């Protein structure tokens, strides 16, 4: 269904970001001998997000670029510093865009409103730093969680038909007049009106 620049059906490959690693760190400071664990958390991996845009009418941008990758979360570090979240990626699509599973062809979601945002591929969670794992029996845990990996998935983006009904006829067949009397639409009509 690709004719020239009117594209209404396209397969895209989307990858969310990895979560950052939690940090294993023991607090060290002059005069403080046993500072305890202070490794911070990894940041969340970036999401891939669909966003409705009323100024778009086709999926033509995805004809040229089909692979999208969100950013990875930063690793945690000392002093309980959390890593930065990975950068989210936004795919702007026309209203009426449907997202389908490539295998089952099932509709996963639909974008109908301007500015509407839906996360399609979630970024991996960041790992927790070692200070979370301090316990009465283990004051200096030397482990932290790794981040969760991002996911890669293919999807179909499809634009619903732009019109439900069409009027076909030669010029002056009476299309506009018909539309004006059977609906509340106000099409441009010839100035000369129908005379009995």
Asked if 194 touches ligand GDP (CB under 6 A), the answer is yes
Distance CA 24, CA 141 (A): 8
Asked if residues 142 and 130 have their Cβ atoms less than 8 Å apart, the reply is: yes
Q: How many residues does the chain have?
A: 196
- The piece of 35-43, 82-90, 110-118, 173-181 that touches ligand GDP (CB under 6 A) is 173-181
- The piece of 53-61, 67-75, 131-139, 166-174 that touches ligand GDP (CB under 6 A) is 166-174
Asked if 168 touches ligand GDP (CB under 6 A), the answer is no
Residue nearest to ligand GDP (CB): 174
Structure token pair of residue 7:
């594209």
- The piece of 13-21, 136-144, 149-157, 174-182 that touches ligand GDP (CB under 6 A) is 174-182
Backbone φ and ψ of 73, nearest 5°: -75, 150
- The piece of 95-103, 104-112, 160-168, 169-177 that touches Mg ion (CB under 5 A) is 169-177
Of 35 and 174, nearer to Mg ion (C-beta) is 174
Identify the bridge partners of residue 192 per DSSP, sorted by sequence position: none
Q: Report DSSP state, residue 138.
A: B
Q: In what order do the strands lie in the sheet with 97-101?
A: 67-69, 9-15, 152-159, 97-101, 107-111
CB of 166 to ligand GDP, least distance (A): 12
Distance CA 45, CA 69 (A): 10
Of 153 and 176, nearer to Mg ion (C-beta) is 176
Distance CA 147, CA 109 (A): 28
Of 119 and 189, nearer to ligand GDP (C-beta) is 189
DSSP H stretches of helix in 4-159: 61-64
- Which of 165, 171, 184, 185 contacts ligand GDP by CB under 6 A? 171
Identify the bridge partners of residue 50 per DSSP, sorted by sequence position: 91, 118
- Which of 176, 183, 185, 192 contacts Mg ion by CB under 5 A? 176
Residue 165 contact among Mg ion, ligand GDP, none, beta carbon within 5 to 8 Å by kind: none
Tokens 């000369």 found at: 192
Which positions lie near Mg ion, rule CB under 5 A? Answer: 176
Q: Which residues bind ligand GDP (CB under 6 A)?
A: 169, 171-177, 189-190, 192, 194
């Amino acid at each position: 269904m690709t004719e020239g620049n009117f594209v209404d059906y396209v397969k895209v490959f989307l990858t969310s970001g990895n979560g950052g690693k939690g940090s294993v760190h023991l607090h060290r400071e002059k005069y403080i001998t046993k500072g305890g664990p202070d490794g911070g958390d990894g940041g969340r991996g970036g999401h891939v997000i669909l966003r409705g845009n009323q100024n778009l009418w086709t999926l033509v941008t995805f004809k040229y670029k089909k692979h999208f990758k969100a950013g990875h979360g930063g690793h945690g570090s000392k002093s309980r510093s959390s890593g930065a979240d990975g950068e989210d990626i936004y795919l702007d699509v026309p209203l009426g865009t449907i997202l389908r599973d490539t295998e089952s062809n099932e509709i996963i979601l639909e974008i109908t409103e301007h500015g509407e945002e839906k996360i399609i591929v979630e970024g991996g969670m960041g790992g927790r730093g070692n200070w979370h794992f301090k316990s009465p029996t283990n004051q200096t845990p030397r482990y932290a969680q790794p981040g969760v990996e991002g996911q890669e998935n293919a999807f179909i983006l499809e634009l619903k038909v732009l019109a439900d009904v069409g009027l076909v006829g030669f010029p002056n067949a009476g299309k506009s007049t018909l539309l004006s009397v059977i609906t509340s639409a106000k099409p441009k009509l010839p100035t000369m009106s129908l005379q009995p």
